[in-house]
Amino acid sequence: MDPFLLAGRTFHSRLLVGSGKYKNLAIAKAATVASGAEIITVALRRIDLASPDGTRLQEEIPPTKYTYLPNSAGCYTAEEAVRTLRLARELGGWDLVKLEVIGDKQTLLPDVGQTIKAAELLVKEGFKVMAYTTDDAIAAAELEALGCVAIMPLAAPIGSGLGITNPKAIQRIIDQSKVPVLVDAGIGTASDATLAMEMGCAAVLLNSAIAEATDPVMMARAFKHAVEAGRLAYLAGRMPKRSSADASSPTSGLIQSA
């Protein structure tokens, strides 16, 4: 795979996975390994929490081996998100962060205004902000102009598993952006990730699609191959779509019937 360049760093996997919703940390670890992911997004409140069996996330999925991507999940204002990510930097020295400001507890859709406000503050403080947002191209452009290192439009509402519900809007953001665009939220199965990569997304971030699968480890492996296949197809360049048939065999020099 061609390298994935993000905020001045080089990664080989274009699949980013979450650490939540698993039945236990052993499954989380096995699924993370199977996914081949190098970047693990972690809600700050989970970083130092011990599980019932006495193990901790950072022991099973060590930050010395994986790049932790602290996120501001569960924050509903810019101030709350900024405070949370400042704490992440104090705790672990992490400056590459996922900014997430939710606007509604029922839909869990992003609050674009609050996201932009938080992004501006964080960028000024030296954070490398990966901004979770809606699939609105204007909002994406404004976040990029503020200095965000990646734009992360949702494919569908968080945890819905609906896949990419508005591919034209996502494509518009990809086409206009000079920073990596990652589809985040709403991915349900491996083919959704392949589609995102074939469209030209730099990477895919997901959690529920693996953690809530009947076999999370097997699904993690499926996503690993799906992302790789989608990226290769994008680089190879698909054949043009046609409104009529086009024979794959030559039409000249055919054997004539008697």
Active site residues: 98
Q: Is residue 224 a contact partner of residue 34, using CB atoms and an 8 Å limit?
A: yes
Angstrom distance (rounded) from CA 45 to CA 206: 18
Q: What does the block give as tokens for 163?
A: 């896949």
Strands in 150-153's sheet, in edge-to-edge order, are: 150-153, 128-133, 96-99, 67-71, 39-43, 15-18, 203-206, 182-184
What letter represents residue 211's amino acid?
A
CB 207, CB 177: distance < 8 Å = no
Distance CA 178, CA 78 (A): 25
Residue entry with tokens 């950072």:
58
> CB under 8 Å to 74, separation ≥6 — which residues?
43, 45, 102
Alpha-carbon span 188 to 183, nearest angstrom: 12
CA distance 1 to 13: 8
